[in-house]
Structure 1
Amino acid sequence: MSEDAQQDIYPSMTVARECESTKIEPLQLGKRLKEIRMSHGLTLEEASKRTGLARSTLSKIENEQISPTFQAMQKLAGGLNVDMPQLFAPPRQTRTTGRRDVTLAERGKPHPTSTYEHELLATQLTNKKMMPFKSQVRARHFSDYPDWIRHDGEEFLLVLNGEITFFSEFYEPVNLTEGDSVYYDANMGHMLISVSEKDANILWVTAS
């Protein structure tokens, strides 16, 4: 199956490309040291007593004014009760973007295909880490698909009503009914069909 054809069947393939590449931050040892000290609730004076390093030395390290020697690093790790590699881990960054997107019932963006009737959710947000959408499963036979569906990322599927058969490349087919779910590697070939009297409805969440 061509890539364009898979995108038509599977909207998450298009949205997955919106994800921004991860930026690698330079090592900031002083910032990391201060983060560890603060997480322990220690003042510079208390950290000085624990590590055996002068308060002024700790302050200069935290402010990137001096670089600690290997012996000083050993004292820091021992006094702060952390492993040496933890001192070199990048500092945690807490950023609140305040993003929100409400999709009212039956107000998602329709995306019909030959095998599914998709309803895309949270369509106002770009560069999403997850792509949620509801689908009515029209396909009734394995042969309704020209090939396995494959794309980057991982996927979660929850059956809202009806019954489906979930096919995957490396596992035996499994039947899922209302309330059942499956989490899987989307790089593995997969597809599903309705086996209930009426077309099944599912919730999909794709993460890249």
Structure 2
Amino acid sequence: MTDEYIHDVYPSMRIEKTQAAEHIAPLKLGERLKEIRVSLGLTLEEASKRTGLARSTLSKIENEQISPTFQAMQKLATGLAIDIPQLFEPPKTITASGRRDITRYGEGRPHPTSTYEHELLATQLTNKRMMPFKSHVRARSFDDYSEWIRHDGEEFLLVLKGEITFFSEFYEPIHLVEGDSAYYDATMGHMLTSVSEEDALILWVTAS
């Protein structure tokens, strides 16, 4: 039974074969190498020092002018701290989602608590990887809290106005003033108190 007979009787098989061929792109090792190098924040010169391969050689590999020998691939894997199979993974396609949200001054969603006056930002976006919000810190004493605050993810805070004491479960309390910031594991117990005359204003970003 010939291929032509099969295609004539089952035309869908011809379509499937054609579609499969269109979706299998040839591996571009140079493009993959450049993607790895850039993701590590390395220049060609820095990658050359790490791998022991000449800068010109790396450039030629990335531009598909030469193919690396197995020995060169071993040096690449060792110098870049990756496994050789990673060199053969297809390059990632980056597609912009086009998501954007603007929050005008004072137009965030209010969320008051006994210790904070939160203003949630970028509330039109759902399934965000980060949750930004501003907070006026009402609490003035450690005793204003009934228990540690803790939640999933990591958190960044920046003091926009005033002064605070940053309490955390595993560290001594620390005094932070306008312009100071902190990044920490949010599953660790934490809390803030204002130590300035007026309530301190904080920018918080929580990431899952």
TM-score (norm 2): 0.66
CA contact (8 A) 2:30 2:62 kept: no
Partner of residue 167, structure 1: 167
Distance 1:152 1:161 in 2: 26
Residues 50-129 of structure 1 mapped to structure 2, 5 A cutoff: 50-51=68-69, 74=70, 77=73, 82-83=76-77, 85-88=83-86, 90=89, 91-129=91-129
Distance 2:166 2:34 in 1: 49
Distance 1:193 1:124 in 2: 30
Which structure is higher in RCO with an 8 Å CA cutoff and minimum separation 6?
1
Structure number with greater Rg is 2
Pick one of 28, 33, 54 that aligns with 2:29. Answer: 33
Distance 1:206 1:31 in 2: 38
Partner of residue 140, structure 2: 140
CA contact (8 A) 2:118 2:134 kept: yes
Distance 1:102 1:161 in 2: 22
Structure 1's unaligned 5+ residue stretches are 1-27, 52-73
Q: CA deviation at 1:195?
A: 1.2
Q: CA deviation at 1:143?
A: 1.1
TM-score (norm 1): 0.66
Structure 2's unaligned 5+ residue stretches are 1-23, 36-60
Partner of residue 47, structure 1: 66
Q: CA deviation at 1:29?
A: 11
Q: How many matched pairs?
A: 154
Which deviates further from its counterpart, 127-136 or 28-37? Answer: 28-37
Q: CA deviation at 1:191?
A: 0.3
The alignment yields a C-alpha RMSD, in angstroms, of 2.6
Per the alignment, do residues 32 and 186 of structure 1 end up closer, same or farther by CA in structure 2, a change over 3 Å counting? farther
% identical aligned pairs: 62
